[in-house]
Amino acid sequence: MAQDFRLPDLGEGLPEAELVQWLVAVGDTVTLNQTIAEVETAKAVVELPSPYAGTVTTLHAETGDVIAVGSVLISFDTGAADAAPSVPATAVEEKAAEPSAEPNLVGYGAAPRSAARPQRRARVAGTVAAASDTAVLEAAPHDAIPFAEVGERTIERPRSTPPVRKLAKQLGVDLALVEATGASGVITRADVESYAERVGAVPTTSSAADTAEPVEQFELPRSDDRRERTTRTPIRGVRRMTAEAMVRSAFTAPHVTTFLTVDVTATSELIASLRADRALQEHRIGIMAVAAKAVCLALARHPGLNSKWDDAAGEIVEHHYVNLGIAAATGRGLVVPNIRDAQELTLVELSDAIRGLAETARSGRTAPADMMGGTFSITNVGVFGVDAGTPIINPGEAGILALGAVRRQPWEHRGEIALRDVMTLALSFDHRLVDGEQGSRFLVDVADILREPGRAMLLR
């Protein structure tokens, strides 16, 4: 029986997704809930499980294609599942005792029999290896490669990302011999390079099709007969989504940016003392966490900075909670996941949440829902050595605070010149929602807490 799988809504009405890679091919036999593809939408990579058991008959998209929600993504012949190779009677009896899988909602396939991810079928020597419905892979990153069956032996194939596998191929490195240091046993680029240097691996010669990047290149003639190369990169994925959001924000919300340079020596001393406390060392509290706490306290005093402009309803919506967006630079572009109900968290809890969001974002595992519903954002440009900037407001929010680099420099302190820790704060806000006075008072409140962290005890 022929069955089509249409791209489901991957989160809060997102209209489309980009196909990152297929994990199956035409002719493959797949099991229920087996991961068949990875797609990217709203700055997150999402795995798609198969809603059917059967044979893949058609792949309706290619890597890099942007697919509209509701479009047919892949077709199956579910009748092929009945023609699967026979198994021993004991295995049939054991399988019959298992509870049947139930389908999930919105096209996500059937509910798994366990919390672990189903095994993905591995292609061995040009054929598809037989896989058991009960074989599963423990929770792992989206780019992990599961177990492959070879003859009577089961071998765990090394876990790595597509770019790392490409690098290993170019260097002539067998990933099965590389020791993984990444999270959940994932082989990183550094692991491959370290192994190649240690064993003296020689780069392999590959065809142009194997090594070509997905870009268009052409040459421009020059008067001295020399040539220079120009590279064209398709605008897609995170870069496209970020560009659309920034243009929409810049040309919808009238931006105003105000700056304030503040002596944060007391905050630096507080952070040093907290990091020296053995009970708190694992939490790695930093300036970002203190600033986040200061923002939450200041927003309670200036709710206009924690609101949004609802043009369709003709209303200003004031939030009584803080979903604090944390801008994170990743290899795939800028993402802004948010900490839900940040106003309820302690300084230690905020520090842990910020670190967790950053690690998840850099691994490409941030869920679309985690980047929606933010009410105010913070971006730390200081980590790049920048003193100040004019941040663009995240769409749907009223403001964003940029933290500059903390610098040791001469500063007036108690009537004298002394070396102090100084940083510049930059607040951009939507002038439809926030007047200059409100924005300035909010920024001063944040600065006062960073100047004297003890002042936080006076606020509620």
By annotation, the residues acting in catalysis are 431
Locus of tokens 């200059």: 436
How distant, in Å, are the alpha carbons of 44, 181, 245, 329 from that of 239? 12, 29, 10, 12
Of 257, 255, 256, 253, the closest CA to residue 309 belongs to: 253
Burial class of residue 454 (count of CB atoms within 10 Å of its CB; 0-12, 13-18, 19+): exposed
Q: How many CB atoms lie within 10 A of CB 1?
A: 11
CB 165 within 8 A of CB 174: no
- CA dist., res. 325 & res. 107, Å (int): 29
How distant, in Å, are the alpha carbons of 44, 64, 163, 307, 361 from that of 245? 15, 20, 27, 18, 18
Which DSSP symbol is given to 22?
E
E-strand stretches of 119-209: 123-124, 127-128, 136-137, 147-150, 153-156, 159-160, 186-187
- CA dist., res. 392 & res. 404, Å (int): 15
